[in-house]
Chains A and B, each alone.
Chain A
Amino acid sequence: MTDLPYDCEAVLGQLDALRRGELTRTQIAAMQMHMEACQKCLCIERYERAFLERLKAMGSPPCPDALREKVAAALAADDGG
Protein backbone atom coordinates (compact mmCIF):
# COMPACT_ATOMS: atom_id res chain seq x y z
CA MET A 1 0.00 0.00 0.00
CA THR A 2 3.03 2.26 -0.20
CA ASP A 3 1.77 3.97 -3.38
CA LEU A 4 -1.33 5.23 -1.57
CA PRO A 5 -1.40 8.59 0.23
CA TYR A 6 -2.33 6.92 3.56
CA ASP A 7 -1.03 3.66 4.99
CA CYS A 8 -3.16 1.31 7.11
CA GLU A 9 -2.08 2.88 10.39
CA ALA A 10 -3.06 6.38 9.21
CA VAL A 11 -6.44 5.17 7.97
CA LEU A 12 -7.34 3.19 11.08
CA GLY A 13 -6.24 6.08 13.27
CA GLN A 14 -8.66 8.43 11.53
CA LEU A 15 -11.80 6.30 11.29
CA ASP A 16 -13.47 8.20 14.11
CA ALA A 17 -12.58 11.54 12.55
CA LEU A 18 -14.03 10.32 9.26
CA ARG A 19 -17.29 9.24 10.92
CA ARG A 20 -17.49 12.53 12.83
CA GLY A 21 -17.10 14.58 9.67
CA GLU A 22 -13.87 16.16 10.86
CA LEU A 23 -11.73 15.47 7.80
CA THR A 24 -11.06 17.68 4.80
CA ARG A 25 -12.14 16.60 1.32
CA THR A 26 -8.54 15.74 0.52
CA GLN A 27 -8.26 13.55 3.62
CA ILE A 28 -11.58 11.86 2.90
CA ALA A 29 -10.45 11.13 -0.65
CA ALA A 30 -7.19 9.67 0.64
CA MET A 31 -9.08 7.48 3.13
CA GLN A 32 -11.45 6.26 0.43
CA MET A 33 -8.64 5.59 -2.01
CA HIS A 34 -6.88 3.46 0.57
CA MET A 35 -9.97 1.48 1.53
CA GLU A 36 -10.87 0.79 -2.07
CA ALA A 37 -7.52 -0.95 -2.39
CA CYS A 38 -7.24 -2.45 1.11
CA GLN A 39 -9.81 -5.09 2.07
CA LYS A 40 -8.45 -5.29 5.61
CA CYS A 41 -9.08 -1.61 6.38
CA LEU A 42 -12.42 -1.61 4.58
CA CYS A 43 -13.48 -4.61 6.62
CA ILE A 44 -12.47 -2.98 9.91
CA GLU A 45 -14.23 0.26 8.96
CA ARG A 46 -17.48 -1.58 8.24
CA TYR A 47 -17.17 -3.69 11.38
CA GLU A 48 -16.63 -0.59 13.53
CA ARG A 49 -19.50 1.20 11.85
CA ALA A 50 -21.86 -1.73 12.45
CA PHE A 51 -20.79 -1.85 16.10
CA LEU A 52 -21.34 1.89 16.65
CA GLU A 53 -24.68 1.83 14.86
CA ARG A 54 -25.77 -0.94 17.20
CA LEU A 55 -24.86 1.13 20.25
CA LYS A 56 -26.78 4.11 18.91
CA ALA A 57 -29.79 1.95 18.02
CA MET A 58 -30.50 1.43 21.71
CA GLY A 59 -32.17 4.81 21.68
CA SER A 60 -31.79 7.80 23.92
CA PRO A 61 -34.19 7.76 26.84
CA PRO A 62 -35.11 11.32 27.81
CA CYS A 63 -34.98 12.61 31.34
CA PRO A 64 -38.28 11.53 32.94
CA ASP A 65 -40.79 14.31 33.58
CA ALA A 66 -40.91 13.38 37.25
CA LEU A 67 -37.18 13.98 37.54
CA ARG A 68 -37.47 17.33 35.73
CA GLU A 69 -40.07 18.36 38.26
CA LYS A 70 -37.90 17.18 41.15
CA VAL A 71 -34.93 19.11 39.81
CA ALA A 72 -37.01 22.25 39.35
CA ALA A 73 -38.36 21.95 42.89
CA ALA A 74 -34.89 21.31 44.31
CA LEU A 75 -33.46 24.34 42.51
CA ALA A 76 -36.34 26.55 43.67
CA ALA A 77 -35.91 25.40 47.26
CA ASP A 78 -32.14 25.66 47.26
CA ASP A 79 -30.81 28.23 49.69
CA GLY A 80 -27.24 28.01 48.45
CA GLY A 81 -26.27 24.95 50.41
Chain B
Amino acid sequence: MSETAAVGSFEAEALPHLDTLYRVALRLTNEPAAADDLVQDTMLRAIRAWKSFQPGSNARAWLVTILRNQFISGWRSRKRAPQAVDMDAIPEPPDTADPDPEGRFFAEIVDEEVLAAINDLPDEFREVVVLSDLEELPYADIAAALDIPVGTVKSRLFRARRILQGRLRRYAEETGIIPPRGEDV
Protein backbone atom coordinates (compact mmCIF):
# COMPACT_ATOMS: atom_id res chain seq x y z
CA MET B 1 0.00 0.00 0.00
CA SER B 2 1.35 3.44 -0.95
CA GLU B 3 1.78 6.05 1.74
CA THR B 4 -1.11 8.06 0.28
CA ALA B 5 -3.36 5.02 0.28
CA ALA B 6 -2.29 4.19 3.84
CA VAL B 7 -3.16 7.68 5.06
CA GLY B 8 -6.47 7.47 3.21
CA SER B 9 -7.36 4.14 4.77
CA PHE B 10 -6.33 5.41 8.21
CA GLU B 11 -8.54 8.44 7.87
CA ALA B 12 -11.45 6.33 6.65
CA GLU B 13 -11.09 3.78 9.45
CA ALA B 14 -9.93 5.87 12.38
CA LEU B 15 -11.46 9.33 12.11
CA PRO B 16 -15.08 8.11 12.54
CA HIS B 17 -14.10 7.01 16.06
CA LEU B 18 -12.94 10.43 17.25
CA ASP B 19 -16.17 10.96 19.18
CA THR B 20 -15.68 7.74 21.14
CA LEU B 21 -12.00 8.48 21.74
CA TYR B 22 -12.78 11.99 22.96
CA ARG B 23 -15.46 10.82 25.41
CA VAL B 24 -13.29 8.03 26.78
CA ALA B 25 -10.36 10.44 27.13
CA LEU B 26 -12.57 12.97 28.86
CA ARG B 27 -13.79 10.41 31.39
CA LEU B 28 -10.30 9.04 32.00
CA THR B 29 -8.57 12.41 32.44
CA ASN B 30 -11.54 14.44 33.70
CA GLU B 31 -10.00 17.50 32.05
CA PRO B 32 -11.04 18.74 28.59
CA ALA B 33 -7.59 20.09 27.77
CA ALA B 34 -5.93 16.85 28.85
CA ALA B 35 -8.49 14.87 26.85
CA ASP B 36 -7.59 16.94 23.76
CA ASP B 37 -3.91 16.16 24.20
CA LEU B 38 -4.58 12.49 24.89
CA VAL B 39 -6.66 12.13 21.72
CA GLN B 40 -4.02 13.87 19.62
CA ASP B 41 -1.27 11.67 21.08
CA THR B 42 -3.42 8.61 20.43
CA MET B 43 -4.05 9.48 16.79
CA LEU B 44 -0.38 10.18 16.14
CA ARG B 45 0.59 6.91 17.78
CA ALA B 46 -2.10 5.15 15.78
CA ILE B 47 -1.09 6.44 12.36
CA ARG B 48 2.51 5.48 13.05
CA ALA B 49 1.36 1.97 14.00
CA TRP B 50 -1.19 1.71 11.20
CA LYS B 51 0.83 -0.96 9.38
CA SER B 52 0.22 -3.28 12.33
CA PHE B 53 -3.55 -2.86 12.13
CA GLN B 54 -5.27 -5.90 10.67
CA PRO B 55 -7.66 -4.74 7.92
CA GLY B 56 -11.18 -5.81 8.71
CA SER B 57 -10.59 -6.02 12.45
CA ASN B 58 -12.15 -3.67 14.96
CA ALA B 59 -10.61 -0.22 14.52
CA ARG B 60 -12.50 1.26 17.46
CA ALA B 61 -11.19 -1.34 19.89
CA TRP B 62 -7.69 -0.97 18.44
CA LEU B 63 -7.77 2.81 18.93
CA VAL B 64 -9.19 2.54 22.44
CA THR B 65 -6.35 0.17 23.30
CA ILE B 66 -3.81 2.74 22.13
CA LEU B 67 -5.58 5.55 23.99
CA ARG B 68 -5.74 3.55 27.19
CA ASN B 69 -2.03 2.67 26.91
CA GLN B 70 -1.19 6.32 26.32
CA PHE B 71 -3.26 7.25 29.33
CA ILE B 72 -1.47 4.77 31.56
CA SER B 73 2.00 5.70 30.41
CA GLY B 74 1.61 9.44 30.12
CA TRP B 75 -1.38 10.64 32.04
CA ARG B 76 -2.39 8.47 34.91
CA SER B 77 0.83 9.15 36.81
CA ARG B 78 -0.12 12.84 36.93
CA LYS B 79 -3.39 12.12 38.62
CA ARG B 80 -4.30 11.45 42.19
CA ALA B 81 -3.45 8.23 43.93
CA PRO B 82 -6.00 5.46 43.31
CA GLN B 83 -9.08 5.75 45.46
CA ALA B 84 -9.55 3.22 48.20
CA VAL B 85 -12.88 1.45 47.98
CA ASP B 86 -14.73 0.43 51.08
CA MET B 87 -16.64 -2.58 49.84
CA ASP B 88 -18.44 -2.81 53.19
CA ALA B 89 -20.05 0.55 52.44
CA ILE B 90 -21.55 -0.72 49.20
CA PRO B 91 -25.18 -1.58 49.69
CA GLU B 92 -26.82 -4.78 48.69
CA PRO B 93 -29.23 -4.71 45.75
CA PRO B 94 -32.73 -3.48 46.58
CA ASP B 95 -35.40 -5.76 47.91
CA THR B 96 -39.15 -5.47 47.87
CA ALA B 97 -39.11 -3.63 51.22
CA ASP B 98 -36.92 -0.90 49.73
CA PRO B 99 -38.52 2.61 49.61
CA ASP B 100 -37.67 2.78 45.89
CA PRO B 101 -37.09 -0.79 44.71
CA GLU B 102 -37.16 0.13 41.02
CA GLY B 103 -34.48 2.80 41.33
CA ARG B 104 -36.62 5.69 40.12
CA PHE B 105 -34.44 7.98 42.24
CA PHE B 106 -31.57 7.58 39.74
CA ALA B 107 -33.46 9.78 37.28
CA GLU B 108 -33.67 12.56 39.91
CA ILE B 109 -29.92 12.87 40.42
CA VAL B 110 -28.20 15.74 38.64
CA ASP B 111 -25.58 15.10 35.97
CA GLU B 112 -22.82 16.69 38.03
CA GLU B 113 -23.27 14.18 40.82
CA VAL B 114 -23.32 11.23 38.42
CA LEU B 115 -20.16 12.46 36.71
CA ALA B 116 -18.46 13.09 40.05
CA ALA B 117 -19.30 9.55 41.13
CA ILE B 118 -17.82 8.13 37.93
CA ASN B 119 -14.74 10.33 38.19
CA ASP B 120 -14.11 9.22 41.76
CA LEU B 121 -14.05 5.54 40.84
CA PRO B 122 -10.66 3.88 40.97
CA ASP B 123 -9.19 3.75 37.44
CA GLU B 124 -9.70 0.00 36.97
CA PHE B 125 -13.41 0.36 37.71
CA ARG B 126 -13.92 3.67 35.92
CA GLU B 127 -12.54 2.41 32.64
CA VAL B 128 -14.90 -0.59 32.47
CA VAL B 129 -17.93 1.58 33.28
CA VAL B 130 -16.94 4.11 30.63
CA LEU B 131 -16.28 1.51 27.94
CA SER B 132 -19.27 -0.69 28.75
CA ASP B 133 -22.03 1.45 30.17
CA LEU B 134 -21.31 4.77 28.47
CA GLU B 135 -19.75 3.69 25.16
CA GLU B 136 -21.44 0.28 24.96
CA LEU B 137 -18.41 -1.60 23.70
CA PRO B 138 -18.82 -5.41 23.68
CA TYR B 139 -17.12 -7.27 26.52
CA ALA B 140 -14.66 -8.87 24.10
CA ASP B 141 -13.49 -5.46 22.86
CA ILE B 142 -13.15 -4.15 26.40
CA ALA B 143 -11.17 -7.24 27.39
CA ALA B 144 -8.86 -6.70 24.42
CA ALA B 145 -8.43 -3.00 25.11
CA LEU B 146 -7.65 -3.54 28.80
CA ASP B 147 -5.71 -6.78 28.25
CA ILE B 148 -7.77 -8.69 30.80
CA PRO B 149 -10.07 -11.73 30.48
CA VAL B 150 -13.76 -11.22 29.73
CA GLY B 151 -14.55 -12.66 33.15
CA THR B 152 -12.51 -9.91 34.78
CA VAL B 153 -14.38 -7.28 32.74
CA LYS B 154 -17.65 -8.66 34.09
CA SER B 155 -16.50 -8.83 37.69
CA ARG B 156 -15.03 -5.30 37.60
CA LEU B 157 -18.20 -4.02 36.00
CA PHE B 158 -20.32 -5.66 38.67
CA ARG B 159 -18.28 -4.03 41.45
CA ALA B 160 -18.06 -0.68 39.68
CA ARG B 161 -21.82 -0.51 39.30
CA ARG B 162 -22.35 -1.38 42.94
CA ILE B 163 -19.92 1.34 44.00
CA LEU B 164 -21.69 3.89 41.83
CA GLN B 165 -25.14 2.78 42.92
CA GLY B 166 -24.06 3.01 46.55
CA ARG B 167 -22.75 6.53 46.16
CA LEU B 168 -25.76 7.75 44.18
CA ARG B 169 -28.10 6.15 46.66
CA ARG B 170 -26.38 7.90 49.58
CA TYR B 171 -26.66 11.17 47.68
CA ALA B 172 -30.37 10.54 47.07
CA GLU B 173 -30.90 9.81 50.76
CA GLU B 174 -28.88 12.81 51.95
CA THR B 175 -30.71 15.18 49.65
CA GLY B 176 -34.14 13.81 50.55
CA ILE B 177 -34.93 12.28 47.17
CA ILE B 178 -35.64 9.01 48.97
CA PRO B 179 -35.83 8.12 52.66
CA PRO B 180 -32.98 6.08 54.11
CA ARG B 181 -33.46 2.33 54.13
CA GLY B 182 -35.27 1.07 57.16
CA GLU B 183 -36.96 4.40 57.77
CA ASP B 184 -40.73 4.60 57.68
CA VAL B 185 -41.97 6.36 54.58
* A residues lining the B interface (CB < 8 Å): 16, 20, 39-40, 43-44, 46-58, 60-64, 67-68, 70-71, 74-75, 78, 80-81
Knowing A40-B95, A44-B93, A48-B161 are in contact, say whether A60-B48 is a contact too (CB < 8 A). no
**Contact (Cβ within 8 A) A47 B44:** no
User: A52 to B135, alpha carbons, bound, how many Å?
Assistant: 12
User: What are 20 contact pairs spanning A and B, CB under 8 A?
Assistant: A16-B154, A40-B95, A43-B95, A43-B102, A44-B94, A47-B101, A47-B165, A48-B103, A51-B165, A55-B134, A57-B107, A60-B19, A62-B19, A67-B36, A67-B39, A70-B36, A70-B40, A71-B39, A74-B43, A81-B48
* B residues lining the A interface (CB < 8 Å): 7, 10-11, 15, 18-19, 21-23, 26, 36, 39-40, 43-44, 47-48, 93-96, 98, 101-104, 106-107, 109, 111, 114-115, 118, 129, 133-134, 138, 154, 157, 161, 164-165, 168
- A78 touches which one: B15, B44, B103 (CB < 8 A)? B44
User: A47 to B105, alpha carbons, bound, how many Å?
Assistant: 10
Contacts of A52 in B (CB 8 A): 133
**Contact (Cβ within 8 A) A75 B47:** yes
**Contact (Cβ within 8 A) A54 B101:** no
